[in-house]
Amino acid sequence: MAALKDRIASELKEAMKARDQVRVDTLRSALSGFTYKRTEAGVELTDADELDVVRKQVKQRNDSVTEFEKAGRTDLAEKERRERDILMAYLPAQKSPEEVRAVVKAILAELPGQGRNQGSVMKLAMAQLRGVADGNVVRQVVTEELAASSS
């Protein structure tokens, strides 16, 4: 899906014409991430590689929002949120917590009682949900379901 890179490059030109500076900076950051990853890997990026770059940048923005809010810098947190939302448009739709819960319950139903621990359930869940669900949401649902099934 060099199409993702092409789509971002095309939308970068549109953002420049529209003088949308936040969008320009965000899309440039994504293209820069692709270039860095390609240089680091020494090969052309696959579709999955490009999605991983965007996912990583979304996660960085989420982490920044948390830190800026702790520091009381709502202006910077808001900018990071806008950048995150711009990048999220390039990722596949994320599953809702209810959809994640259904996957986790199915995994728990298949696991024997002694195999039910946070690590093993997370490993199986993330294998199925990588790229379509936030890891923090998955961890929270796994924790809740393990607590519910052990009581």
- Do 83 and 103 reside in the same domain of the chain? no
Q: How many domains does the chain have?
A: 2
- Do 122 and 79 reside in the same domain of the chain? no
Domain extent at residue 139: 97-150
- Do 6 and 78 reside in the same domain of the chain? yes
**CATH code for position 23:** 1.10.1510.10
**pLDDT score for 105:** 86
Residue corresponding to tokens 């095309």: 10
In three-state secondary structure terms, 132 is: coil
**pLDDT score for 1:** 42
Phi, psi of 91 (to 5 degrees): -100, 155
The domain boundary residue, chosen from 88, 121, 136: 88
- Do 9 and 62 reside in the same domain of the chain? yes
DSSP notation for 5-68? HHHHHHHHHHHHHTT-HHHHHHHHHHHHHHHHHHHHHTSPPPHHHHHHHHHHHHHHHHHHHHHH
The answer to pTM > 0.75 is: no
Each of the 151 residues of the chain gets a pLDDT tens digit; together they read: 458 899 999 999 999 999 999 999 999 999 999 999 999 888 888 888 888 899 899 889 989 999 999 999 999 999 999 999 999 888 888 888 888 888 888 888 887 776 677 788 888 888 888 777 877 888 888 888 878 776 5
The domain boundary residue, chosen from 88, 111, 130: 88
